[in-house]
Amino acid sequence: MSSDAVLRQAPGPADRALPDPTGAPTGAHGVLPTEPVQITFTPAGPDGAALAAGTGWLQPGGLVVHTGWSSPYPDRTQPWRQSEARAGAQSWIISTPCGQEVAAFPYFSRERAQEAAAVIAAALPDGAWTPGTRADGLLYERAFDASTGPEMLPGSDSRGRPDWGFGAAWILWRMPPTRALYERMIAKHDGPAPTKHCLSCRESVRQARRDGWNCRTGHWPAWGTHPPGYVEHVHCSCRHCLAFVTIGTTGKTTDGQPGALSAYTMSPIRENDQQVPYEERPFAWWRHMLAEGGHVILDNRPCSGLWPQGVRHDDAFLCETGLAGTDTTGTHATSRSRP
Count of structural domains, the chain = 3
| 262 and 209 assigned to the same domain | no
13 in any annotated domain? yes
| 43 and 77 assigned to the same domain | yes
| 124 and 74 assigned to the same domain | yes
| 324 and 226 assigned to the same domain | no
304 in any annotated domain? yes
Q: Which of 147, 171, 200 finishes a domain?
A: 147
Give me the average pLDDT of each 10-residue run along the chain (339 residues): 44 42 40 90 84 93 94 84 90 92 94 96 90 76 94 89 85 92 93 88 82 73 84 78 79 79 86 84 90 86 74 51 37 37
Q: Which domain holds residue 257?
A: 246-337
Buried b (16+ CB within 10 A) or exposed e, 190-220: eeebbbebbbbbbebbeebeeeeeebebbbb
| 13 and 142 assigned to the same domain | yes
121 in any annotated domain? yes
Whole-number pLDDT of residue 232: 85
215 in any annotated domain? yes
| 256 and 191 assigned to the same domain | no
2 in any annotated domain? no
Whole-number pLDDT of residue 143: 94
Whole-number pLDDT of residue 158: 83
Q: Which of 93, 127, 147 finishes a domain?
A: 147
Whole-number pLDDT of residue 27: 34
| 274 and 159 assigned to the same domain | no
Q: Which of 212, 237, 262 finishes a domain?
A: 237
| 65 and 166 assigned to the same domain | no
1 in any annotated domain? no
| 329 and 269 assigned to the same domain | yes
| 141 and 230 assigned to the same domain | no
Whole-number pLDDT of residue 136: 66
333 in any annotated domain? yes
| 71 and 189 assigned to the same domain | no
Whole-number pLDDT of residue 265: 84
51 in any annotated domain? yes
Q: Quote the pTM value.
A: 0.67
| 45 and 118 assigned to the same domain | yes
